[in-house]
């Protein structure tokens, strides 16, 4: 069974939605000043002909608002089923937005929005692990340091098959997470199947739920002859830049000769932090370009005061779950020749959304701009030299993860090994 991509269960961590927080843009302008177009449209239907032209002159073009308005009248009066005009309209809006074929441009019904809000409020805590989906339950992808999980001895690749005695096969990951979560201090019993070589053992752990923060930064000097520093950046939260800077300072004190910056599985976060992180490596250079509808480029530059020369080769590790802010940093560091990208092609989340609230708690999300790297590579998708369409950023050195990779065991990490190899070959060439 192939894995379908890790979902970082931040809810387990009591920190809501870090794992799912891509960089979301808001057009402040649009929130405070209702667009003039809308104001004009409010005077409908008298203004219809002014805005959309006279009805008879449309030829084969179907003016959207007019067409929908007519169709709704027809369906309300003639359809066998009685019509709830609000729900009908929501459905039509979903359809209209769906016609654009952009998964991020979509309509969000009120209940879905509310459910997510309740989730984000989060007085729930968990046991401290990120999970991958599996038809047989859930796979522990990454037990977090100092979490109840780790203290009890749960390991990466353990298969969770029961929660409080209940079989969780076939459940959604979200549902399993909901079962694991609970109030701080309470207990949950987790049944595990662990496969060693070909033997499978069944284990049971009783864990006390507690608050666990997803670490922002983890760092160490890798074992090996060359003193290569390793920093893993797990999220772009408010502390990301500061913590990464501290980590670099510590590593440099130890005299590292190269650096691996690991943003694998990092789903992104705040754009300001993407700029902050890039600024640690680049002196007053462009980090990312946002291009909106009008084609106008909005270039974000690195912050000169953050910059410190890093006189050692750097490799950035990326994979298919490095998204958004991770891609911005990777793109900037590569384009300005600060780092080599190693790993697998990144996720390709180079779209900026604005969220507009509507009436009864429903809202719409519209893709309003695209992210480009400093060299104008569209992060979302672009064509390579052969005209092949590429999603995300392609690494300079491509290497797939080894099958028996286990989190925390460097010797099983083929991508890290490759990054070290790349850096080693560069040591001494850069001053």
Cβ-based neighbours of 322, under 8 Å, separated by 6 or more: 263, 264, 265, 266, 267, 330, 343, 346, 347, 392
Q: Does 26 bind other proteins (CB under 8 A)?
A: yes
Q: Cβ-count burial of 253 within 10 angstroms (0-12 exposed, 13-18 middle, 19+ buried)?
A: exposed
Can you point out the beta strands (E) in 209-346?
217-221, 228-233, 258-262, 286-292, 297-301, 314-318, 340-343
Contact window for other proteins (CB under 8 A) among 58-66, 142-150, 256-264, 422-430? 58-66
Contacts of residue 342, defined as CB under 8 A and 6 or more positions apart, other chains included, come to 315, 316, 317, 318, 395, 396, 397, 399, 415, 418, 419, 422
Instruction: Kindly state whether residue 17 participates in binding other proteins, applying the rule CB under 8 A.
Output: yes
Residue among 32 and 223 whose Cβ is closer to other proteins: 32
Return the number of the residue (339 or 351) whose C-beta is nearest other proteins: 351
Helix locations, 79-128, DSSP H: 85-98, 110-121
Which range binds other proteins by CB under 8 A, 114-122, 143-151, 183-191, 252-260? 114-122
The reply on whether position 381 binds other proteins by CB under 8 A is no
Whether 349 sits among the annotated catalytic residues: the reply is yes
Stretch that binds other proteins, among 90-98, 220-228, 334-342, 416-424 (CB under 8 A): 90-98
| Alpha carbon distance, N-terminus to C-terminus of the chain | 47
Q: Is 335 a catalytic residue?
A: yes
Query: Among 96, 152, 221, 397, which residue interacts with other proteins (rule: CB under 8 A)?
Result: 96
- The verdict on 287 binding other proteins (CB under 8 A) reads no
Catalytic residue among 262, 349, 354, 418: 349
Task: Give the CA count within 13 Å in the CB-facing half-sphere of 425.
Answer: 8
Out of 155, 370, 391, 417, the residue judged to bind other proteins by CB under 8 A: 370
Angle at 63 (CA atoms; ends 57, 68), nearest 5 degrees: 130
Residue 37 lies near other proteins (rule: CB under 8 A): yes
State which of positions 125-184 bind other proteins (CB under 8 A): 135-136, 167, 169-170, 172, 174-175
354 near other proteins, judged by CB under 8 A: yes
Binding residue for other proteins (CB under 8 A) from 226, 242, 283, 358?
Answer: 358
Of the residues 184, 298, 384, 411, which one makes contact with other proteins according to CB under 8 A: 298
Rounded CA separation 278/217 (Å)? 15
Query: Mind telling me the catalytic residues?
Result: 324, 335, 349
């Amino acid at each position: 069974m192939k894995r379908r991509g890790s979902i970082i269960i931040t809810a387990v961590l009591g920190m809501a939605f870090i794992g799912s927080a891509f960089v979301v843009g808001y057009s402040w302008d649009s929130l405070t000043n209702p667009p003039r177009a809308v104001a004009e449209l409010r005077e409908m239907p008298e203004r219809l002909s002014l805005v959309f032209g006279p009805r008879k002159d449309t030829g084969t073009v179907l003016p959207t608002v007019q067409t929908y308005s007519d169709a709704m009248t027809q369906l309300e009066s003639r359809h066998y089923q009685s019509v709830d005009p609000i729900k009908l309209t929501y459905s039509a809006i979903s359809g209209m937005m769906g016609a654009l074929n952009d998964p991020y441009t979509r309509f969000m019904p009120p209940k879905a929005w509310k459910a997510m809000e309740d989730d984000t409020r989060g007085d729930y805590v968990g046991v401290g692990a990120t999970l991958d989906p599996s038809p047989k339950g859930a796979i522990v992808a990454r037990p977090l340091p100092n979490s109840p999980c780790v203290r009890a001895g749960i390991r990466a690749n353990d298969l969770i098959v029961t929660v409080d005695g209940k079989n969780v096969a076939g459940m959604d990951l979200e549902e399993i997470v909901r079962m694991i979560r609970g109030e701080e201090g309470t207990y949950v019993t987790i049944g595990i199947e662990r496969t060693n070589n070909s033997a499978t053992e069944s284990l049971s752990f009783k864990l006390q739920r507690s608050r666990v923060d997803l670490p922002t930064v983890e760092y160490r000097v890798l074992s090996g002859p060359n003193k290569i520093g390793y920093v893993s950046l797990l999220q772009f939260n408010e502390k990301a830049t500061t913590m990464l800077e501290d980590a670099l300072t510590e590593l440099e004190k130890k005299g590292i000769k190269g650096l691996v910056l690991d943003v694998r599985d990092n789903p992104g976060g705040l754009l300001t932090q993407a700029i902050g992180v890039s600024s640690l490596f680049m002196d007053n250079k462009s980090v990312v370009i946002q291009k909106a509808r009008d084609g106008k480029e909005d270039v974000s530059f690195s912050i000169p005061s953050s910059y410190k020369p890093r006189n050692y080769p750097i490799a950035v590790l990326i994979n298919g779950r490095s998204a958004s802010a991770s891609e911005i940093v990777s793109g900037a560091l590569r384009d300005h020749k600060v780092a080599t990208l190693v790993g697998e092609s990144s996720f390709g989340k180079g779209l900026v959304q604005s969220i507009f609230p509507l009436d009864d708690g429903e809202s719409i999300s519209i893709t309003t701009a695209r992210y480009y790297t400093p060299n104008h590579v569209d992060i979302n998708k672009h064509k390579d030299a052969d005209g092949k369409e590429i999603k995300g950023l392609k690494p300079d050195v491509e290497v797939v993860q080894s099958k028996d990779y286990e989190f925390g065991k460097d010797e099983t990490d083929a991508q890290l090994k490759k990054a070290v190899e790349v850096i080693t070959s560069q040591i001494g060439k850069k001053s």
